[in-house]
C-alpha cells in the first residue's frame, strides 16, 4: 500500500468499539472495500464471542470476526485507530486510554464535537448529561469531523468528534450561503426529516413497526441537541452569532435525511449567483453535489452512499432561498464521514473505500 506521497506503508489497523450497533455495522461494510485498512478488533459489551456475521448475516464471508469484550486481554494493542460507535459518555471515559497508547480516536457521539467545556455543557444538558465531561482536558485537542470545513485540522489531529447526522445535512446545506453572505442569518429555518434508523438499534415502543408504519411526527421541537453544533459551525464561518429554527421529524423510512432549509436572500441575490457561490464553495469536495431547480432530488439518490446532494431553489415571490439537502444518515451522517476523516488523518486519498454509488431503488 502507498500513501499520497508514494511511500510504502502497512494497512491501517482498525478497532471498532460498539461494533454491534448500526454505526459499527456501517463502518464494517465500508472497510470491506477499503484498500488501505483492515479491521483487527470488534469490541462490544453485548453478544460477546458471537461472530459479527451472526448478528448481521449479510456480512457472512466478508467479515466473520467475533465480538470481543472491552476488557478482553487478547484485544490487540497495536491498533492505529479506534472508532467509538458508541452512545454519549463512552468515548470520553475510554478515549484517553487509547490516546495514551498513540492510537488515533474517532468518536461517533457528541463527546468530542465541542472543543470547550461551556459549549459542550449546553449540548449535554439537552441530552440529560448535566454531570459534566469526564475528560475535559481533551476537548481543546479535539477537532470537529466535518471534512468539508475542517480538512486541514483533521489531517493533523489524533482525536476527531464525528458530526451529528442532522448537523451534516444542515451545515453543508447552509455553509456557502453563510460564507458568501447571501442570506439574512436570523431568518434561517431548517425543516428536517429522518428515517427510523437514526434512533439506533435498541428496541423502543415508539419505533415498533405498527407504531411507525404510515406515521410521521415532529419531536424535540426547538430543543434538538444537534442545533448546538449547527449554530457553532455556521457562527464560526459567518463571524457572528447565529441562531436557527430547527425542527426534526421522523418519517416511515429506514434510512435517509431530507432537510429543507429556508432563508431570506439579501438584496440583489438571484438563483444564478446562488448556484455560482455553492459550486465555488464545494469545487474541491467530491462528496457534495449541487443541483438546480430543474433537477429534483430524493432520498433514494443518496441511499447507501457518502454523498450529500444539495438542490437549490429561489422563491422569487418571497425572496427566499430554498435549499434541499439530502444524505444517508448512516453513511455521510455517520460511518461514511468517520471513514472520510480517517483517510484524511492518515494521509490517504479522501475517497478511499467510499467512492461508490448509492443503492437503487
DSSP 220: S
Q: How far is it, in rounded angstroms, from Cα 136 to Cα 290? A: 38
What whole-number distance in Å separates Cα of residue 27 and Cα of residue 83? 9
Name residues whose C-beta falls within 8 Å of residue 156's C-beta, 6 or more positions apart in sequence.
Answer: none
Q: Compute the distance between CA of residue 257 and CA of residue 239 in angstroms, rounded to an integer.
A: 28
Element (H, E) at 290: strand 288-291
Handedness of CA 300, 302, 308, 310 (dihedral sign): negative
Pair 237, 175: CB distance under 8 Å: yes
Question: 320 to each of 94, 147, 177, 197, how far by Cα in Å?
Answer: 46, 28, 12, 32
Helix axes 271-281, 165-179, angle to 10 degrees: 120
Active site annotation includes 165: yes
Q: Which three cell numbers stand for residue 317?
A: 415571490
Q: How far apart are CA 340 and CA 147, in angstroms?
A: 7
> Which one is catalytic: 2, 25, 63, 165?
165
Are 91 and 25 contacting, i.e. CB atoms less than 8 angstroms apart? no
**How much helix, strand and coil, in percent to the nearest 5, is found in the chain?**
35, 20, 45
Spatial neighbors of 128 by CB under 8 A, at least 6 apart, are none
Distance CA 163, CA 146 (A): 6
Contact indicator for 75, 85 with CB cutoff of 8 Å: no
Q: Which residues are catalytic?
A: 165
Amino acid at each position: 500500500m502507498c500513501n499520497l506521497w508514494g511511500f510504502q506503508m502497512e494497512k491501517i489497523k482498525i478497532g471498532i468499539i460498539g461494533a454491534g450497533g448500526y454505526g459499527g455495522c456501517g463502518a464494517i461494510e465500508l472497510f470491506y472495500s477499503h484498500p488501505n485498512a483492515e479491521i483487527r478488533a470488534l469490541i462490544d459489551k453485548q453478544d460477546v464471542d458471537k461472530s459479527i456475521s451472526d448478528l448481521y448475516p449479510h456480512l457472512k464471508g466478508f467479515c466473520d470476526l467475533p465480538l470481543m469484550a472491552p476488557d478482553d486481554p487478547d484485544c490487540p494493542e497495536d491498533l492505529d485507530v479506534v472508532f467509538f460507535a458508541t452512545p454519549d459518555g463512552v468515548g470520553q471515559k475510554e478515549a484517553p486510554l487509547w490516546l495514551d497508547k498513540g492510537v488515533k480516536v474517532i468518536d461517533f457521539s457528541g463527546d468530542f464535537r465541542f472543543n470547550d467545556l461551556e459549549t459542550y455543557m449546553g449540548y449535554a444538558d439537552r441530552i440529560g448529561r448535566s454531570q459534566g465531561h469526564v475528560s475535559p482536558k481533551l476537548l481543546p485537542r479535539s477537532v470537529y469531523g466535518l471534512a468539508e470545513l475542517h480538512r486541514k485540522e483533521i489531517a493533523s489531529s489524533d482525536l476527531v468528534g464525528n458530526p451529528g447526522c442532522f448537523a451534516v445535512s444542515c451545515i453543508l446545506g447552509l455553509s456557502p450561503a453563510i460564507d458568501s453572505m447571501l442570506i439574512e442569518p436570523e431568518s434561517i429555518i431548517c425543516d428536517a426529516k429522518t428515517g427510523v434508523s437514526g434512533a439506533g438499534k435498541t428496541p423502543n415502543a415508539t419505533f415498533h413497526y405498527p407504531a411507525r408504519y404510515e406515521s410521521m411526527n415532529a419531536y424535540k421541537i426547538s430543543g434538538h441537541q444537534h442545533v448546538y453544533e449547527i449554530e457553532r459551525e455556521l457562527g464560526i464561518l459567518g463571524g457572528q452569532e447565529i441562531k436557527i429554527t430547527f425542527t426534526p421529524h421522523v418519517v416511515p423510512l429506514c434510512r435517509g435525511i431530507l432537510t429543507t432549509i429556508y432563508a431570506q436572500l439579501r438584496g440583489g441575490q438571484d438563483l444564478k449567483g446562488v448556484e455560482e457561490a455553492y459550486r465555488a464553495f464545494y469545487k474541491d469536495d467530491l462528496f457534495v453535489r449541487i443541483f438546480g431547480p430543474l433537477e429534483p432530488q430524493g432520498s433514494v439518490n443518496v441511499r447507501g452512499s457518502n454523498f450529500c446532494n444539495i438542490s437549490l431553489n429561489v422563491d422569487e415571490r418571497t425572496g427566499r432561498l430554498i435549499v434541499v439537502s439530502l444524505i444517508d444518515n448512516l453513511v455521510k451522517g455517520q460511518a461514511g464521514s468517520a471513514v472520510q476523516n480517517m483517510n484524511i488523518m492518515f494521509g490517504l486519498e479522501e475517497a478511499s473505500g467510499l467512492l461508490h454509488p448509492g443503492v437503487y431503488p
